[in-house]
């Protein structure tokens, strides 16, 4: 069973807010009458899915433990989780729940940005820092980043420190062959896409992936996928809801792959 959870949080965004509005809009796109619920592997979104609604979160730092506790409850019940953010800071408390269980985990991060800053403007829990916090506490976790095109010296130092495997966009399609062992968690920041495919993100970074390139990689993963998130949809920058439809497509295809790869 997969539990679908909305995480409407964007207070850790560095440039502009808006992703807190995303979960309900992505759900609306999933069920839009302009499309259907079929997935590309022949399945139907909704099979083996329980929609838990949106988490009710406090504004302060306690929101992180609230997210972690909600995910822990789902894992304890034997469910996988598929989360709709929210900014990328929510990946840290989500993954904390997995890491605390001691399970071996290979995280695949689709992103334009490494999100490995030690802090950003004094905020150690910014959406630019989630994987630095996670790997500090759980250095045995493996992280592969795909689509990066903003690697700077501070983040490169962190990547080297934590042994992160980085496929920068300039090297694509080298990432098309993923040699990964063990259970997988996928964290998909929509700004991994070129802005021509997904204008509805806070940080436009040209030269990104296409929707099909991301889907091809997701479909190529044969390991068990134990969880996933789709984050950083900002409806305030979207055009005709096209990024919401892209996010909905990713949610449906991730769910299908999670069901298929047990």
CATH class held by domain 2-260: alpha beta
211-220 and 242-260 helices cross at what angle (nearest 10)? 10
Dihedral-angle region of residue 19 (phi above 0 means left; psi in -120 to 50 means alpha; beta otherwise):
alpha
Q: Specify the pLDDT at position 11.
A: 82
The rounded distance, in Å, linking the Cα atoms of 88 and 209 is 18
The pLDDT assigned to 123 comes to: 66
Q: Where are the alpha helices (DSSP H) in the chain?
A: 22-30, 62-76, 91-100, 130-137, 153-162, 211-220, 242-260
What is the C-alpha end-to-end distance of the chain, expressed in Å?
11
Full-model pTM: 0.96
Which residue, 251, 169, 237, is CA-closest to 203? 237
Pairing of strands 165-168, 2-7: unpaired
Which pLDDT score is estimated for 175? 63
Q: What is the DSSP string of 12-46?
A: T-SS---GGGHHHHHHHHHT-TTS-SB-TTS-BTT
80-97 exposure pattern, b = at least 16 Cβ within 10 A, e = fewer: bbbbbbbbbbbbbbbbbb
Q: What are the sequence ranges of the domains in the chain?
A: 2-260
pLDDT in tens, 161-207: 999 999 999 988 766 667 888 999 999 999 999 999 999 999 999 99
pLDDT-based confidence at 106, cuts 50/70/90? very high
Report the alpha-carbon distance of residue 252 to residue 44 in Å, rounded.
8
Query: Higher pLDDT residue, 62 or 124?
Result: 62
Measured distance CA(216)–CA(142) in Å, rounded: 21
Q: Tell me the per-residue pLDDT of 44-88, one tens digit each, with 9 for 90 and over.
A: 999 899 999 999 998 888 999 999 999 999 999 999 999 999 999
């Amino acid at each position: 069973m997969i539990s679908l959870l909305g995480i409407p949080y964007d207070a850790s965004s560095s440039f502009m807010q808006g992703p807190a509005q995303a979960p309900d809009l992505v759900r609306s796109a999933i069920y839009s009458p302009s499309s259907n619920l079929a997935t590309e592997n022949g399945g139907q979104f909704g099979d083996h899915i329980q929609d838990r609604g949106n988490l009710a979160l406090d504004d302060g730092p306690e929101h992180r433990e609230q997210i972690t506790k909600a995910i822990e409850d789902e894992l304890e019940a034997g469910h996988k989780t598929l989360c709709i953010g929210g900014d990328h800071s929510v990946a840290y408390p989500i993954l904390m729940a997995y890491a605390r269980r001691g399970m071996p985990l290979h995280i695949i991060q689709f992103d334009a940005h490494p999100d490995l800053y030690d802090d950003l403007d004094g905020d150690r829990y910014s959406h630019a820092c989630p994987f630095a916090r996670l790997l500090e506490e759980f250095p045995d976790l493996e992280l592969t980043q795909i689509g990066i095109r903003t690697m700077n010296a501070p983040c490169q130092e962190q990547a080297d420190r934590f042994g992160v495997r980085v496929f920068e966009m300039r090297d694509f399609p080298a990432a098309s062959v993923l040699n990964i062992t063990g259970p997988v968690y996928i964290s998909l920041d929509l700004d991994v896409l070129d802005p021509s495919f997904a204008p509805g993100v806070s940080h436009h970074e040209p030269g990104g992936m296409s929707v099909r390139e991301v889907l091809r990689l997701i479909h190529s993963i044969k390991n068990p996928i134990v969880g996933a998130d789709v984050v950083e949809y900002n409806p305030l920058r979207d055009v005709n809801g096209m990024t919401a439809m892209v996010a909905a497509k990713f949610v449906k295809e991730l769910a299908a792959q999670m069901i298929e790869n047990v």
